[in-house]
Amino acid sequence: MNNITSKQRAYLRGLANDLEVIIHIGKASLTPEITISVDEALEKRELVKLAVLKNCFDDPYELADILSERTHSKVVSVVGKKIVLYRPSKKNPKIQLPKLSK
């Protein structure tokens, strides 16, 4: 997947505003189970919001980068302890990103 533009990122951030947090990262940090859960959620939903709990002492930006790499997704935003990731579904893509202007 190519990089997403700032316009596309802004569009995805707007969509993410209404999303509920579906995955919480706690004191065990990034376990293989969390990575699998994020991967499955991305395939099903394409846009996923995660929360880093107070008892997790890892940096949310680092966690976002690691998850992005492991799940082949893009980091849409990291605000405070909330992370939003995006990856188009392989089987059933739903989200239409704004087209690139040339």
φ/ψ (deg, to 5) at 30: -85, 95
Confidence band, pLDDT 50/70/90 cuts, at residue 55: very high
Half-sphere CA count of 63, side-chain side, radius 13 A: 31
**4 or 41, higher pLDDT:** 41
Rounded to an integer, the average pLDDT of 55-73 is 95
Domains of the chain, residue spans = 6-85
Residue 77, helix vs strand vs coil = strand
Give the pLDDT confidence score for residue 101 in this predicted structure. Answer: 59
pLDDT digits (tens, 9 = 90+) for 11-49: 999 999 999 999 999 999 999 999 999 999 999 999 999
> Would you state the pLDDT for residue 73?
95
Q: Do residues 53 and 63 touch, judged by C-beta distance below 8 A?
A: no
Q: CATH topology for 6-85?
A: Translation Initiation Factor IF3 (3.30.110)
